[in-house]
Chain A
C-alpha cells in the first residue's frame, strides 16, 4: 500500500483533485435542478396565463365582477340584453360537490374502517384491488354509464327528465368514493395499535372503540380524505356534463337539470369565438376553477398541519 508515499500530497489528493469531483456530478445535479425549475415554471405559467386570460372579461369587457359572481342571469348570446351572471353554475358546482361528498364520506370511511378494523385480510385481498380498479375507470366511462343507465332510471322513477343535479351527484359519488376510501384507509391503518388495545382492554366493544377512540384520533386525516374527494368532484367535467342537463337556471329540486362551472366551460369554450366577450367570461370561469382548486390545497394543508398535534 505504497500509494500515499509515492502519490502527491494530501492537499493535492484531497482538495485540489479534479479526479472525483467529476463533471457528471455537476451535470447530474444541474439536470435534476432544471427539472425542478421546470415544475415551478409550469405552475407559475398555468397560474399567470389563466389569471391574465380570466381577468379579461373584467378588464377588457368591463363586466362587473360582483355582478358576474352573484347574478343568476346567464344569457351570453342575448345581444343588447346579454347578461353574464354565473351564480347558477357556482351553485351547481357547490351543490354537486357537497352532496356527493355527503354520500361518499360515510360510505368511504365505512369502507376504510372495514378494511382496517373489521376484515383486514379480506380488505387487502379483495376490497383494495376493487378500489384501485374503480379509480382506474376513466371519467367518460362513468359519464357514459350514467347517461345510458342512470338517466333513464331516474326518468322512469322520479320526477323530471332524468338529466338532473341528482344524476350528477350519483355519478360523482361513485367517482370520488375510491379516493375517499383510499386516503381514509391509510389514515385508519396508521393509527397506533396501542389505541385499539387500550380501548378494548377497558372493555369497550369494537364499535365503541371505533366511534369513541379511532375516529376522533383519525379525524383530521379523514377530513382530508373528504376534502380531496370534494376537490375531485368539483373539478370533474365530462362525467357530470353528460348527465346533468347543462341548463342555465338554478335548479328548484335535485331532480331538476342544472349546470356547473366545469360543464358550461366544457360545452361552450369550443363554440365561442376566441376573444369574444362570451368566450372571455368562460375563461373567467376557468380562473375560478383554478382558484378554488388552490383553495382546496390550502384546506388540505391546514388539516395536515392539525394532524401532527
Chain B
C-alpha cells in the first residue's frame, strides 16, 4: 500500500521538496481514517483502510463498482448505522475525536458532516421548505433569517438564479440536475464542515454533470469534500487527492495528479487506463 507519508527528506529532489512543502502547508487533516474495516455480516466490504482526508480539498474515491466506496463514505457520517448487519472497526478521527465511538451523537455528527446521495432525493415539498426542513427542526423560526439562509445556500449551490422566482413550487418540478443542486443546497444550509458526495452526478445528463463539477470546485474554498465518482475524468478534474479502491482495499491514495499520471501501483494504472472495471 502507498500512503502519502512523506519520504525521508534526504532522498528528495529539490522539486519534490518544493512540492511536499506546498502540500504540507495545505495539509491539515480533517478526517484521519485509521485501520477502518467495515463488515456486512461476515463480508468485509472495507479492509483496514487508512487515509488522511485534507481540509478544504476535494478527495475523490474511485474504483470499480462494489469495491466499497459507498460503504466507506457512508461510514464517515454513520449512515451505515441504518443497516443492521453492518459493523465498523478501526477509527475515524474528526476534530480529535473518534466518530465511530458508540457514545457519539450521530444526529449532531450528521449536521456537521453532510451527505448527498446518488439519486436526487428532494422532499416532496416546496423548494423553500426543502431547505428550511432541517433548520426549522433545529429551532430556527425567524422568517427573515430563514429567507436569508435559503438564498445563501441556493446561491452557493448555483441554483438561486434558476429558482428564485418559484421558491414555493414543488421541488419535484425541478429537473434532475436542479434537484441534485437543491439537495446540495439543503445540506449546505446546515453549515457542515465536511460534504460527502456519493456519485452525485452519475444519474444526471452531461450539462448538469458539468454544473455540479463547477460547483464542487467553488465549494472547496469553504468545505472539505469527499466525492465518490465512477467518472475517471471527473475525478481528475475536480479532485486534489484520489483514493483508488479495489475489493475493499485502498490500493493507492495520493495526489490526484500523481495517481493519474504516474501511479505507484500497477492495479491503479490498469484501472485508470480502462483495462478493467
Contact = CB atoms under 8 A, between A and B. Distances in A.
A142 to B, nearest CB: 42
A15 B105 contact: yes
Q: Quick one: which of A3, A4, A21 has the most chain B CB within 10 A?
A: A4
Given A1-B191, A3-B191, A14 B104 contact: yes
B79 interface: no
Interface stretch (B108-116, B142-150, B158-166): B108-116
B117 interface: no
A21 B223 CA distance: 26
B112 A13 contact: yes
What DSSP secondary structure best describes chain B's contact surface? loop
Contacts of B96: 9-11
A125 interface: no
Contact of B193 (A3, A19, A20): A3
A72 B95 CA distance: 82
Contacts of A1: 191, 193, 222-223
A52 interface: no
B107 interface: yes
B108 A13 contact: yes
Sorting the interface of chain B by its residue count into under 10, 10 to 19, 20 to 34 or 35 or more gives: 10 to 19
Contact of B105 (A3, A4, A9, A14): A14
A17 B105 contact: yes
B223 A14 contact: no
Interface in A172-224: none
Interface in B83-115: 94-97, 99, 101, 103-105, 107-109, 111-112
Contacts, number: 45
A19 B105 CA distance: 10
A192 to B, nearest CB: 24
Contacts of B105: 14-15, 17, 20-21
A11 B95 CA distance: 9
A14 B109 contact: yes
A20 B109 CA distance: 10
Contact of A11 (B97, B107, B109, B223): B97
B192 to A, nearest CB: 8
A21 B191 contact: no
B185 to A, nearest CB: 15
Contacts of B193: 1, 3-4
Nearest to A19: B108
Nearest to B94: A10
Contacts of A14: 95, 97, 99, 104-105, 108-109, 112
Given A10-B97, A20-B111, A15 B103 contact: yes
Given A14-B109, A20-B111, A4 B95 contact: yes
Interface of B: 94-97, 99, 101, 103-105, 107-109, 111-112, 138, 191, 193, 222-223
16 contacts: A1-B191, A1-B193, A4-B95, A4-B112, A11-B96, A14-B95, A14-B97, A14-B99, A14-B109, A15-B101, A15-B105, A19-B138, A20-B105, A20-B111, A21-B105, A21-B108
